[in-house]
Chain A
Amino acid sequence: MNNIVAMPMMIPLLTGIILVFLRPFVKVQRVVSFLALVATAIVSMILLNRIQTNGILRLDFGGWKPPYGILFVADSFSVLLVLTTAIVSAIVLLYAFSSIGARRENMFFYPFSLLLIAGVNGSFLTGDLFNLFVCFEVMLLASYVLITMGGKKIQLVESIKYVAINVLSSWFFLLGIAYLYGTVGTLNMAHLSARIAEVGQGPLLTIISMIFLIVFSLKSGLLLYFWLPGSYSAPPTAIAALFGALLTKVGIYAMFRTFTLIFYHEPSITHTMIGVMAAITLIGGSIGALAYQDIRQIVSYNVVITVGFILVGLAVSTEIAFQGAIFYLVHDMLIKALLFMLAGTMIYLTGKSRIEEMSGLIQNYPLLGWLFFLTTLSLAGIPPLSGFLGKLYVGQGAVEAGSYVLLGLAFLSGMFVLYSLLRIFMNTFWGETIISEDDEVPLQKRLLIPCVVLGIATIALGVGAESILVYVEDAAYTLMNPEVYVDAVLNKE
Chain B
Amino acid sequence: METLMTILVGVLVTVAVYLLLSRSVIRIILGSAVLSHAVHLLLMVMGGLKKGGVPLLGEESESYTDALPQALILTAIVISFAVTAFLLVLAYRAYQETGSDDLQELRGFTDE
Contact A178 B106 (CB under 8 A): no
Contact B90 A130 (CB under 8 A): no
Contact A154 B109 (CB under 8 A): yes
Contact B90 A154 (CB under 8 A): no
Interface of A is mostly: helix
- Give the residues from 175 to 198 in chain A that come closer than 8 angstroms, CB to CB, to chain B: 175, 177-179, 181-182, 187
Contact B42 A163 (CB under 8 A): no
| Chain B residues with CB under 8 A of A163 | 83, 86-87, 90
Contact B32 A151 (CB under 8 A): no
Give the CA-CA distance A200 to B43 in the complex, in Å: 23
Give the CA-CA distance A40 to B87 in the complex, in Å: 32
A20 in the interface, Cβ–Cβ < 8 Å? Answer: no
Q: Provide the B74-89 mask, 1 if CB < 8 A to any CB of A, else 0.
A: 0110010011001100
* Known contacts A130-B75, A157-B106: A144-B86 contact under CB 8 Å: yes
B91 in the interface, Cβ–Cβ < 8 Å? Answer: yes
B112 in the interface, Cβ–Cβ < 8 Å? Answer: yes
A168 in the interface, Cβ–Cβ < 8 Å? Answer: yes
Contact B79 A134 (CB under 8 A): yes
A148 in the interface, Cβ–Cβ < 8 Å? Answer: yes
| Chain B residues with CB under 8 A of A151 | 93, 97
| Chain B residues with CB under 8 A of A178 | 39, 42-43, 45-46
What size tier do the contact residues of chain A reach?
A: 20 to 34
Give the CA-CA distance A160 to B104 in the complex, in Å: 13
Contact A160 B39 (CB under 8 A): no
| Chain A residues with CB under 8 A of B20 | 168
| Chain A residues with CB under 8 A of B94 | 156-157, 160
* Known contacts A141-B86, A171-B35: A179-B98 contact under CB 8 Å: no
Contact A174 B109 (CB under 8 A): no
Contact A181 B35 (CB under 8 A): no
Contact A156 B83 (CB under 8 A): no
CB < 8 Å A-B pair total: 92
Give the CA-CA distance A152 to B35 in the complex, in Å: 29
Q: Which of A148, A158, A167, A179 is within 8 Å of B32, CB to CB?
A: A167
A153 in the interface, Cβ–Cβ < 8 Å? Answer: yes
Q: Which of B39, B87, B93 is within 8 Å of A174, CB to CB?
A: B39
| Chain A residues with CB under 8 A of B46 | 178-179, 181-182
**Which residue on chain B has the smallest CB distance to residue A131?**
B75
Q: Which of B32, B39, B72, B98 is within 8 Å of A130, CB to CB?
A: B72
| Chain B residues with CB under 8 A of A157 | 94, 98, 106, 109
**Which residue on chain A has the smallest CB distance to residue B83?**
A167
The minimal Cβ–Cβ distance linking B94 to chain A, given in whole angstroms, is: 4
Contact B32 A168 (CB under 8 A): yes
| Chain B residues with CB under 8 A of A168 | 20, 32, 35
Give the CA-CA distance A153 to B95 in the complex, in Å: 10
Contact A175 B42 (CB under 8 A): yes
* Known contacts A130-B75, A164-B32: A181-B109 contact under CB 8 Å: no
Give the CA-CA distance A119 to B61 in the complex, in Å: 39
Contact A175 B86 (CB under 8 A): no
| Chain A residues with CB under 8 A of B111 | 153-154
Contact A153 B28 (CB under 8 A): no
Contact B43 A167 (CB under 8 A): no
Selected A-B contacts with CB under 8 Å, 14 pairs:
A130-B72, A145-B86, A152-B112, A153-B109, A153-B112, A156-B90, A156-B94, A156-B98, A160-B94, A171-B39, A174-B42, A174-B76, A175-B42, A182-B45
